[in-house]
Chain A
Amino acid sequence: MGDEAIAVRGLHKSYGDVQAVRGIDLTVERGEVFALLGPNGAGKTTAVEILEGYRERSAGEVDVLGHDPAKRSRAMRERIGIVLQSTGVDPYLTVRETIRLYAGYYPSPRDPDEVIELVDLAEKRDVRVIRLSGGQQRRLDVAVALAGDPELLFLDEPTTGFDPGARRNAWEMVRNLKALGKTVLLTTHYMDEAQHLADRVAVISRGEIVAEGPPATLGDRHLADAAIRFRLPAAAELPPDLAGRAIVTGDGLLELIVSDATRALHDLTGWALERGIELEGLHVAQPTLEDVYLELTGGEAGQE
């Protein structure tokens, strides 16, 4: 085993006739934040729960920190932290008691107060879990997963249901984890989350990985044609070489799809300046991660 925290080859999982996971290969390096991105029902959670040791695989090879998770070895569980999609702790214990309880299960836990600090719950230290808000409980979920000072952290949809502010805080927390040298495997169906957090992203659709890479270059979107959009004053008419390539978008803007954005923009603005025309709303856009994602997943609607 090299520097890989997780290595998966040919992972399959079927429930009767239904194939939830259909041949996944992926590698997560140590110290990396890796995002599994996909619509609900794409097989993300099934795949991750196989890595965590909750489910048995139908076929394939899986290695998590040198262990086969299907063997459910204690040695593996001592080195990982798990934040499940829906999970709970005893509602009648305080935040600090909860972290101390879980820390006690591990051979070399992190200091409970430090963990509480890390997820920004210091003020709620002595408050019972039942009195925490939804967002605070989710942060406690993460704290519980960190109690044992794991090398590898699984985060299954960590911010689903969060308001934008809470979301930003959670992202900050994941960045802190990366700074601590943790490996993080997170699943999400939010494009922006993957974009902000992940070193690498794998898009999973119908049980298969359809694209993988750093968010900036996923699906070669950095090489894709750019769109130049602007509004033309009613009287003006584009020169013929540009007019032939322009289409009118839904909001009344003209759109030019070009492979040579620099030159095309130069031609366009040169022409406009010459005639003293103001191109209202002018901007150049690459396909967003969302565009790529929707194309890759074929607009597959979520199952839930």
Chain B
Amino acid sequence: MSDLRLAIRQVRFTNTAFWRNPAAAFFTFVFPLMFLVIFTTLFGNTEVTLPGPDGQPITVSQSTFYVAAMAAFAVITACYTNLAIGVCFQRDAGILKRVRGTPLPGPAYLSARVLHAVIVSVLLVAITAAFGAAFYGSDLPSGGDLIVFIFTVLVGAASFAALGLAVTAIVPNADAAPPVVNVTILPILFLSDIFIPLGEDSPAWVDFVGLVFPVRHFSEAMQAGFIGTEFEWSDVVVVALWGLAGLVLAARFFSWEPRR
């Protein structure tokens, strides 16, 4: 069997196991939708102004804003947070070490994990988009925009997955995985137009955080698809560069054995 077929086969088994673990399925699928409902219920009646195409600001209801934000959040949760925590648990359980002793190449195993997270992300974005279109008046991207949008989702999912693998290198053990991983992502989520719309007048240092880290770039690229704000390729490029950095770090520091 070729390595590619081995990886695809691995994805199938990963998927079977994923759906049998209620906690994993719950946190991955219900969390983003739950947040979407909560945020839109709390703030849905106000409006938010976003930079539109041609520099014209466009004003949308906050519920529409949150459809895009929660789609981005869902991708980050599935690919970064959950993948990183899951891999740490597998590492502590000795699963990774065992795989390392079989002929399955390490990259094939990890690609399968990443591929599964990407597939789950696509599914999540589709669900969020359908939910948003049905209840919160968000656009559904179509035509050429749809292709760009799907490309954005795939690049984002793969990049956050690579970062998720990289972050496992600083997690000492599975018990520490949820706090460590959340500490690395939650503050950035708050400062990156995900939970709180930043609008036009956010402090300069917050804008700086958004500029440096990949989350705001990703969320703004997603907004373009859902809301019709301006799409900028530079956003996708920044996300991809972070993904590349994650890949390099993971290749260098990833541990197959419990660190203890």
Most buried by B among A82, A92, A144: A92
Specify which of B20, B97, B104 is in contact with A105 (CB 8 Å cutoff): B104
Q: A86-B94, A104-B1 are in contact. Are A92 and B101 (CB under 8 A)?
A: no
Whether A248 is near chain B, meaning CB under 8 Å from some CB there, is no
- Are B16 and A52 touching (Cβ within 8 A)? no
Which residues of chain A come closer than 8 Å to B103, judged between CB atoms? Answer: 74, 77-78, 105-107, 148
Whether A101 is near chain B, meaning CB under 8 Å from some CB there, is yes
- Are A93 and B17 touching (Cβ within 8 A)? yes
Which residues of chain B come closer than 8 Å to A84, judged between CB atoms? Answer: 94, 97-98, 101
Which residues of chain A come closer than 8 Å to B105, judged between CB atoms? Answer: 74
Whether A128 is near chain B, meaning CB under 8 Å from some CB there, is yes
Whether A97 is near chain B, meaning CB under 8 Å from some CB there, is yes
Q: A93-B13, A102-B102, A104-B1 are in contact. Are A128 and B20 (CB under 8 A)?
A: yes
Proximity bits, B91-116, A CB within 8 Å = 1, else 0: 00111011011111100000000000
Closest chain A CB from B113 CB (angstroms): 12
Closest chain A CB from B12 CB (angstroms): 9
Which residues of chain A come closer than 8 Å to B257, judged between CB atoms? Answer: 54
Proximity bits, A81-121, B CB within 8 Å = 1, else 0: 01010111111110001000110111100000000000000
- Are A87 and B17 touching (Cβ within 8 A)? no
Which residues of chain B come closer than 8 Å to A101, judged between CB atoms? Answer: 9-10, 13
- Are A77 and B13 touching (Cβ within 8 A)? no
Closest chain A CB from B115 CB (angstroms): 16
Q: A86-B94, A92-B21 are in contact. Are A52 and B6 (CB under 8 A)?
A: no
Which residues of chain B come closer than 8 Å to A93, judged between CB atoms? Answer: 13, 16-17, 20
Which residues of chain B come closer than 8 Å to A92, judged between CB atoms? Answer: 16-18, 20-21
- Are B17 and A53 touching (Cβ within 8 A)? no
Closest chain A CB from B90 CB (angstroms): 8
Q: In whole angstroms, how far apart are the Cα atoms of A42 and B94 in the complex?
A: 22
- Are A97 and B16 touching (Cβ within 8 A)? yes
Which residues of chain B come closer than 8 Å to A53, judged between CB atoms? Answer: 101
Which residues of chain B come closer than 8 Å to A82, judged between CB atoms? Answer: 98, 101
- Are A87 and B98 touching (Cβ within 8 A)? yes
- Are B93 and A88 touching (Cβ within 8 A)? yes
Q: In whole angstroms, how far apart are the Cα atoms of A88 and B16 in the complex?
A: 17
Q: In whole angstroms, how far apart are the Cα atoms of A54 and B94 in the complex?
A: 13
Most buried by A among B6, B10, B100: B100
Specify which of B13, B21, B98, B101 is in contact with A97 (CB 8 Å cutoff): B13
- Are B94 and A88 touching (Cβ within 8 A)? yes
Q: In whole angstroms, how far apart are the Cα atoms of A90 and B20 in the complex?
A: 11
Which residues of chain B come closer than 8 Å to A107, judged between CB atoms? Answer: 103
Q: A97-B13, A128-B20 are in contact. Are A88 and B102 (CB under 8 A)?
A: no
Interface of chain B residues 221 through 260 with chain A (CB within 8 A) = 257
CB nearest to A101 among chain B residues: B13
CB nearest to A75 among chain B residues: B103
Interface of chain B residues 1 through 27 with chain A (CB within 8 A) = 1, 6, 9-10, 13, 16-18, 20-21
Q: In whole angstroms, how far apart are the Cα atoms of A128 and B17 in the complex?
A: 10
Which residues of chain B come closer than 8 Å to A54, judged between CB atoms? Answer: 97, 100-101, 257
Specify which of A88, A89, A104, A128 is in contact with B9 (CB 8 Å cutoff): A104
Which residues of chain A come closer than 8 Å to B21, judged between CB atoms? Answer: 91-92
Closest chain B CB from A283 CB (angstroms): 46
Closest chain A CB from B83 CB (angstroms): 15
Most buried by A among B18, B104, B105: B104
Q: In whole angstroms, how far apart are the Cα atoms of A88 and B174 in the complex?
A: 14
Closest chain A CB from B22 CB (angstroms): 10
Q: In whole angstroms, how far apart are the Cα atoms of A97 and B1 in the complex?
A: 18
- Are A52 and B95 touching (Cβ within 8 A)? no
CB nearest to B1 among chain A residues: A104
- Are A88 and B98 touching (Cβ within 8 A)? yes
Q: In whole angstroms, how far apart are the Cα atoms of A106 and B257 in the complex?
A: 22
Q: In whole angstroms, how far apart are the Cα atoms of A106 and B102 in the complex?
A: 8
Proximity bits, B19-58, A CB within 8 Å = 1, else 0: 0110000000000000000000000000000000000000
Q: In whole angstroms, how far apart are the Cα atoms of A105 and B109 in the complex?
A: 11
CB nearest to B95 among chain A residues: A88
Q: In whole angstroms, how far apart are the Cα atoms of A80 and B16 in the complex?
A: 27
Q: In whole angstroms, how far apart are the Cα atoms of A148 and B1 in the complex?
A: 14
- Are A89 and B98 touching (Cβ within 8 A)? yes
Q: In whole angstroms, how far apart are the Cα atoms of A3 and B46 in the complex?
A: 80
Q: A97-B13, A128-B20 are in contact. Are A87 and B97 (CB under 8 A)?
A: yes
Q: In whole angstroms, how far apart are the Cα atoms of A104 and B21 in the complex?
A: 23
Which residues of chain A come closer than 8 Å to B20, judged between CB atoms? Answer: 92-93, 128
Residues of B near any A CB (own CB < 8 A): 1, 6, 9-10, 13, 16-18, 20-21, 90, 93-95, 97-98, 100-105, 257
Residues of A near any B CB (own CB < 8 A): 52-54, 74, 77-78, 80, 82, 84, 86-93, 97, 101-102, 104-107, 128, 144, 148
Closest 7 CB pairs of A and B: A88-B93, A87-B94, A92-B20, A82-B101, A92-B17, A105-B104, A88-B94
Can you pick out 6 interface pairs between chain A and chain B where the beta carbons lie within 8 Å of each other?
A74-B105, A82-B98, A82-B101, A87-B98, A91-B21, A104-B9
